[in-house]
Amino acid sequence: MKEDAMGNLSMLRVRQRLPRPRIDGLREEVAARMGRLAPSVKPGMSVAITAGSRGINEIPLILRTVASVLKDMGAKPYLVSAMGSHGGGTAEGQRSLLAHLGITEESVGVPLRVTSEAVAVGKTEGGHVLYIDGEALKADAILPVNRVKAHTAFQNVLASGLFKMLTVGLGKVPGAEQVHKLSTAGIYRAIVEMGRLALSSLPVIGGLAVVENGYEETAAVELLLPSEMESREKELLKYAGSLLPALPAARLDLLIVEEMGKNFSGTGMDTNVIGRWKAKGIAEPQFPKIGRIVVLRLSKASEGNANGIGLADVTTRKLVEAIDWTPTLMNVRTTGLWERAFCPPFPGSDRDAVHWAIESLGLSAAGEILAARIRNTLHIDELWLTPAALATAESCDRIGPPRPLSFSEEGDLLPG
């Protein structure tokens, strides 16, 4: 395709109609759910509350409310980082990543104790060692807080949630490395075994599970007691799956992702959204089928971690220059999913990257392209589609006329 044809590529802004259950009065809802812990909390007991690396909606408010309720019950809560190898696996990196998410001692109102120390506390029948954050192990009680959501490295009846927070998140680098060296089926079995061991051998008093809708709003919050954590988390995962946002078109020639990053997905771009896993043992999904994926920028909140860049076909020089290979390689080494860190071609500017991707498709005219443009894989309630793609899309409302892609003199893609 010629350069002038690429320049005439037009897209129009659309809004998806997604299911939108949401909680009004999140603080009050969290506080009410926390009431189930009253019989387990004793005056003066220390409680380690987990803080992870995911961009959960209003997570500072959720953690602050959890801590406040515990203090009202007479406990002495504090935060611990529970993010496996994220943040480069270092205390400094994890503290910085939490700050990017708005999680600080000031925002939550309790001490934040971050360490890279992981202590082996037991072994499962399958031979998996349960590692626990050194600061969490000092507490009289442990309370994991996490979002329940489909995972980007394995698929089963448990995924991202409280079990994973207890085993991989609190397991620091050795816990994460141990799990991610396994097959995708092995990851699930290990998390279940270690989660059960954690519940039977550690002072876990419960867990706060959060479910979000496709607009990144809190759809549900539940306080799960240890005896019900496994079974109820499975049910919440099904519910979360019914709310998972997806691209409105099953087939695309081109997907432009403006920004990738750890604050949007553990793999920078959600594999469930883009239809690419690049993981041994998991078949690539039938839909969506995307010919070329272009990613333009790396979020500042990622702290240079570009794990997931290998899911794209083309990127930009600006993104590659923003990569810090130390945390990126630490992350990919931990997960064992090496292909996800393979760097694609980076011809130059945003304009160059888009042009390369379109040219490689070998289409004869811009009007034939089934293309979409999204901000990131977390926020896809509003996006841009070519007229040809809109004709194949479902549940979309037009909120703007077709406009050609426009770029600055430096080649940066301008806002739509």
What is the SS3 assignment for 122? strand
Q: Provide the residue type at 111 as one letter.
A: P
- Contacts of 324-327 with CB under 8 Å at 24 or more apart are 326/88, 327/86, 327/87, 327/88, 327/89, 327/93, 327/303
pLDDT of residue 1: 43
| All domains of the chain in start order, with CATH | 3-18+245-404 (no CATH), 26-243 (3.40.50.11440)
Nearest to 276 by CA among 255, 296, 262: 255
One-character DSSP codes across 303-358: TT--TTGGG-SB--HHHHHT--HHHHHHHHHHH--GGGG------SSHHHHHHHHH
pLDDT reported for residue 323: 97
Hey, CA dihedral for 237, 24, 204, 102, is it positive or negative?
positive
Q: Say what the pLDDT of residue 179 is.
A: 85
Question: For residues 376 and 345, what is the distance between their CA atoms, to the nearest angstrom?
Answer: 20
Report the length, in residues, of the chain: 416
Q: Could you say which DSSP state residue 165 is in? A: I
Q: Which positions ≥6 away from 377 have C-beta within 8 Å?
A: 257, 260, 264, 265, 269, 270, 273, 274
- How many helical (H) and strand (E) elements, i.e. helices and strands, does the chain have? 15, 16
> CA-CA distances (angstroms) from residue 68 to 52, 101, 187, 200, 222?
19, 19, 35, 27, 17
Residue 214 backbone phi and psi in degrees, to 5: -70, -5
Residues 6+ apart with CB under 8 A from 395: 16, 17, 18, 248
Q: 358: which 2 tokens?
A: 């379109």
Cβ contact 116:87 at 8 Å? no
151-161 as b/e, with b when 16 or more CB fall inside 10 Å? bbbbbbebbbb
Of residues 290, 331, 288, the one with CA closest to residue 309: 331
Mean pLDDT per 10-residue segment, the chain (416 residues) = 59 92 97 98 98 91 98 98 88 93 96 97 95 98 94 67 94 89 80 95 98 93 97 94 90 97 89 87 85 97 93 98 93 83 96 95 77 94 94 89 94 92
pTM of the model: 0.77
